[in-house]
Amino acid sequence: MSQRTHASLIGTRILLGISGGIAAYKSAHLARLLKKAGAEVRVVMTEGAQAFITPLTLQALTGEQVRTSLLDPEAEAGMGHIELARWAELILIAPATADLMARLAQGQADDLLTTLCLANDALWCMAPAMNQAMWRHPATLENARRLEKYGWHLLGPDAGDQACGDVGPGRMLEPEAIVNELLDRLTDTGSKPSGLAQHATDAAELTITITAGPTREPLDPVRYLSNHSSGKMGYALAQAAVERGARVRLISGPVALETPPGVERVDVESALEMLEAAQKAAVDSDIFIGCAAVADYRAEQIAEHKIKKSSDEDALTLRLVKNPDIIATIAQSAVDSRPFVVGFAAETRDLERYALDKLTRKQLDMIVANDVGRPGLGFGADENAALLLWRGTENEAAPGRLELSPQPKTMLAAKIIDTAIKRLSATDEQSSCPSSQVT
Ligand code: C5P
């Protein structure tokens, strides 16, 4: 169960921006849901949006004049565009087309909606909607990353059937899901959105340690046991963390990846080496993320010389012993000096149940659960989907959850880092607040 029951849209001044995509027809329902939830809603439509839905529809639903043009003397005489930008506590763009994202990522102000976005410093959310190939294009992904850096919250996109007949990521989230996501964002930033400073993630003070890649468990001087982990997810996490200004240590098993600039990389091979490096790094880390695919077992004895093929035995027996659980060791170390610990759970069924069990059993603070049975996602792939689960603090009681739809690992990584940072500060606030003061 999520903690969204704590937030409300009642009285929140929302500027709903609609750009020109087929999903614009859903924006009418979205406007209704926002009104029903108690928000004050004003709508701004781009020229393209008006090809899909009329301003009159939105005017009837919101009871407010819909703005479409920057250079409209009559509308400006009522509420000028800067006044409108100041009025909005939350800007929600749904749908956000590839073109609009590109213009906002460039800081353009070539129509009313983009101008308002530049002039406003409240909470910014957008629900991208476009064809799957357009969404996957490196230019769009780069724009999405840049927008997130500027403080935009990207809600979705979802994956599935598209209006053009394609199947893949790029569908706009359903209006109900958008409203739920807004409530989550409002919960994260307090009961009301209030200012750019609150939603720009500041990790400059933090040290984040991340384990990544596989481990290699030697059998003799030339052979080892290992797995197919590519390290891409862990490296993407390191990149996202360093982009947010954190000091980042990456404890890496053998992978064929470049170290992201600014990241301190420690190379290890076996699980025992990884444990040693992790324990050393954890001492002064604020967040510890165990993303490595650590081998569960290692050879009991490493042969001093190359194991020879026997001419009279058809079978060879290797005795394996269990490796230590690195993340559990860190999570269960002295409570006062222990970092906020984030683990991963790759499951093929009962994702949430097994992940919650792992969260509790290993005493983690947050877990990133992946359904590794889904084709094209996870191990070795560039994309992944995830379910984030975290323990509730004392005054939240229930664990929190955030579902992240299939998207490039780089974008997913940014959301995981942001959520971990937010949860860390929620936990810190909790521990610095005597329980008698908790309301
Ligand atoms: O138990 P399981 O391997 O599914 O747990 C996965 C999580 O535990 C990952 O975060 C992984 O990095 C971590 N792990 C570890 N040491 C191990 C095994 C797993 O840190 N020996």
pLDDT, tens digit, 9 for 90 and up, residues 125-156: 999 999 999 999 999 999 998 998 888 999 98
By most ligand atoms within 8 Å of CB, the mutation choice from 327, 330, 388, 389 for ligand 1 is 327
The answer to whether residues 342 and 238 belong to one domain is: yes
What is the predicted pLDDT for the residue at 71? 86
Contact (Cβ atoms closer than 8 angstroms) between residue 225 and residue 216: yes
| DSSP SS3 for 26 | helix
Contact (Cβ atoms closer than 8 angstroms) between residue 286 and residue 339: yes
The residue written with tokens 């991340």 in the block is 210
Q: How far apart are CA 123 and CA 90, in angstroms?
A: 5
Arithmetic mean of pLDDT, 291-315: 94
The answer to whether residues 219 and 173 belong to one domain is: no
Going by pLDDT thresholds of 50, 70 and 90, the confidence category of residue 299 is very high
Nearest atom (ligand 1) to Cα of 327: 20
Arithmetic mean of pLDDT, 324-338: 91
The answer to whether residues 227 and 125 belong to one domain is: no
Q: Is 29 left (phi over 0), alpha (psi -120 to 50) or beta?
A: alpha
Regarding the beta carbon of 19 and ligand 1, being less than 6 Å apart is answered no
Backbone angles phi, psi at 168, to 5 degrees: 155, -170
Q: Is residue 224 part of a domain?
A: yes
Residue 77: partners with Cβ closer than 8 Å, 6 or more residues away: none
From the list 371, 382, 387, the residue with the least C-alpha distance to 411 is 382
Q: Is residue 194 part of a domain?
A: no
The answer to whether residues 171 and 305 belong to one domain is: no
Q: Is residue 264 part of a domain?
A: yes
The string of pLDDT tens digits covering residues 412-436 is 898 899 899 988 988 776 665 443 3
**Mean per-residue pLDDT over the chain, rounded:** 88
From the list 390, 398, 391, 397, the residue with the least C-alpha distance to 416 is 390
What is the predicted pLDDT for the residue at 380? 66
What predicted TM-score, i.e. pTM, was given to this entire model?
0.69
The answer to whether residues 265 and 402 belong to one domain is: yes
From the list 60, 27, 347, the residue with the least C-alpha distance to 174 is 27
The answer to whether residues 167 and 229 belong to one domain is: no
Contact (Cβ atoms closer than 8 angstroms) between residue 367 and residue 344: yes
Arithmetic mean of pLDDT, 195-215: 73
CATH number for position 344: 3.40.50.10300
Judged by average pLDDT, the poorest of 190-199, 213-222, 246-255 is 190-199
Q: How many angstroms separate the alpha carbon of residue 4 from the centre of ligand 1?
A: 30
What is the predicted pLDDT for the residue at 429? 66
Listed residues 138, 156, 189: the one ending a domain: 189
What is the predicted pLDDT for the residue at 397? 63
What is the predicted pLDDT for the residue at 185? 79
Nearest residue (CA) to ligand 1, atom 9: 344
* Dihedral sign, Cα of residue 410, residue 411, residue 414, residue 415: negative
Six-digit token string for 301: 């004895």
Would you say residue 386 has pLDDT above 70?
Answer: yes
Contact (Cβ atoms closer than 8 angstroms) between residue 388 and residue 359: no
Q: Could you tell me whether strands 264-267 and 167-171 are parallel, antiparallel, or unpaired per DSSP bridges?
A: unpaired
For residue 142, give Cα distances in angstroms to 98, 405, 437: 11, 18, 44
Listed residues 124, 156, 189: the one ending a domain: 189
Q: Is residue 195 part of a domain?
A: no
Q: Is residue 200 part of a domain?
A: no
Q: Is 391 left (phi over 0), alpha (psi -120 to 50) or beta?
A: beta
Backbone angles phi, psi at 247, to 5 degrees: -85, 125
Nearest atom (ligand 1) to Cα of 271: 21
The answer to whether residues 23 and 149 belong to one domain is: yes
From the list 76, 32, 189, the residue with the least C-alpha distance to 124 is 189
Q: Is residue 85 part of a domain?
A: yes
Q: Is residue 328 part of a domain?
A: yes
What is the predicted pLDDT for the residue at 430? 65
Higher pLDDT, 336 or 59: 59
The string of pLDDT tens digits covering residues 274-288 is 999 999 999 999 999
Six-digit token string for 294: 């650590």
Listed residues 189, 217, 252: the one ending a domain: 189
What is the predicted pLDDT for the residue at 394? 65
The answer to whether residues 254 and 382 belong to one domain is: yes
CATH number for position 37: 3.40.50.1950
Q: Position 126: which residue type?
A: M
Contact (Cβ atoms closer than 8 angstroms) between residue 62 and residue 45: no
Q: How far apart are CA 186 and CA 94, in angstroms?
A: 17
Would you say residue 201 has pLDDT above 80?
Answer: no
What percent of the chain is modeled with pLDDT above 70? 90
The answer to whether residues 182 and 253 belong to one domain is: no
Tally of domains within the chain: 2
What is the predicted pLDDT for the residue at 291? 97
Q: How far apart are CA 209 and CA 220, in angstroms?
A: 30
The answer to whether residues 171 and 230 belong to one domain is: no
Contact (Cβ atoms closer than 8 angstroms) between residue 310 and residue 295: no
Helix 27-36 crosses helix 175-188 at what angle (to 10 degrees)?
Answer: 50
The answer to whether residues 120 and 21 belong to one domain is: yes
What is the predicted pLDDT for the residue at 187? 65
Regarding the beta carbon of 404 and ligand 1, being less than 6 Å apart is answered no
Arithmetic mean of pLDDT, 302-312: 92
The answer to whether residues 218 and 173 belong to one domain is: no
Arithmetic mean of pLDDT, 205-221: 97
Domain of residue 70: give its range.
Answer: 3-189
| DSSP SS3 for 365 | coil
